[in-house]
Copies of this chain bind each other. A is one copy, B any other.
Amino acid sequence: MIIDKLYEAVEKKGPVCVGLDTSIDYIPKDFLKKFTSLYDALFEFNKRIIDATEDIASCFKIQIAYYEALGIEGMKVYSKTVKYLRSRENIVIGDIKRSDILDTAKMYAKAHFEGDFEVDLVTLNPYMGMDSIIPFLEYLDKDKGIFVLVKTSNPSSKDLQTLYAGEKRVFERVYDFLKPYIESNLGRYGYSPIGAVVGCTNFDEAEDIRKNLKGMFFLIPGYGAQGGKKEDVKKLLMDGNGGVVNSSRAILLAYKKYDDEFFLAARKELLRMKEEILSAI
């Protein structure tokens, strides 16, 4: 089960995930100059970051929007990056946040669990309900998994997610409809490959969340650049596992903070972040 592998990776390397939400603006000018193609530079930037961090990151998250924004050539870099990551046995989360009706969701599952864009886990949006998620579950026995958006890290997550629908909030209702599928797919460490995206920002009830969303492994965005703090992360992690904290910008742009080559700076920042989180747990 992919979630057991992820749990073991966290045991070994710590609860940190490197986010390859690589905006072309992030590539240092000196590095960019070495390439005739912007897309080659983008891939090589990612590759250097991966090479410099894979021994200390439990997984990588790649945000497809940054590549989609560059059209066909961008999608080729996305494909090349996920293939490179998987060829080196890294666990890869495709941050795609897709959702659609059942027949269409089948197509998205095929798109991201097979072929050019194949990753190990994807993020999904729950607004359309359970039948928009079911087609992805057919890949659980092919060692795939999902993270469903539960409570996101952005300010407007309050617009719907934290509204009370009866005694429970909307995001807790997401757990309710996922629950039977989570419980019938638990791995050896008590977590299911049906995980949750739970931000560590603007969030007072992290402890409750960890208690209530039983069996869900957490993908935790919002750390660093978005304002998430180690105290919040602490509440979401059980004994240092059961979740991974993602950082993208703070790692990709670490060279602005340290006087180092960008990939060395990225490594330094990831180590710093890991230490900061581990010290809080």
Which residues of A does B touch, CB under 8 Å?
Answer: 21, 23, 63, 65-66, 68-72, 75-76, 79, 97-102, 104-105, 107-108, 110-112, 115-117, 125-132, 149, 152-161, 163-166, 170, 173-174, 177, 226
* Identical copies in the complex: 2
Bound: A219/B164 CA distance, A:
28
Given contacts A72-B75, A173-B159, contact A98 B65 (CB under 8 A): yes
Residues of B within 8 A of A159 (CB): 126, 128-130, 173, 177
Given contacts A125-B99, A129-B161, contact A68 B117 (CB under 8 A): yes
Please give me the residue from chain B that is nearest to A174 by CB atom.
B160
Residues of B within 8 A of A161 (CB): 127-129
Bound: A127/B129 CA distance, A:
11
Residues of B within 8 A of A72 (CB): 72, 75-76, 79, 116
Residues of B within 8 A of A132 (CB): 154, 156
B128→A126 contact, CB < 8 A: no
Residues of B within 8 A of A111 (CB): 65, 68-71
Partner of A165, one of B66, B101, B170: B170
Can you pick out 27 interface pairs between chain A and chain B where the beta carbons lie within 8 Å of each other? A63-B104, A63-B107, A65-B100, A65-B108, A68-B108, A68-B117, A69-B111, A69-B115, A70-B111, A71-B79, A71-B111, A71-B117, A72-B79, A72-B116, A97-B98, A97-B125, A99-B125, A101-B152, A101-B153, A101-B154, A102-B154, A126-B127, A128-B156, A128-B157, A128-B161, A159-B177, A160-B173
Bound: A12/B124 CA distance, A:
39
B160→A107 contact, CB < 8 A: no
B68→A107 contact, CB < 8 A: yes
Residues of B within 8 A of A69 (CB): 107-108, 110-111, 115
**Shortest CB distance A161–B (Å):** 7
Residues of B within 8 A of A107 (CB): 23, 63, 65-66, 68-69
A170→B163 contact, CB < 8 A: yes
Please give me the residue from chain B that is nearest to A177 by CB atom.
B159
Partner of A160, one of B75, B112, B170: B170
Residues of B within 8 A of A65 (CB): 98, 100, 104-105, 107-108, 111
Residues of B within 8 A of A154 (CB): 101-102, 128-129, 131-132
Residues of B within 8 A of A158 (CB): 129
Bound: A152/B224 CA distance, A:
36
Partner of A129, one of B75, B105, B116, B160: B160
Residues of B within 8 A of A157 (CB): 128-129
B97→A99 contact, CB < 8 A: yes
A100→B100 contact, CB < 8 A: no
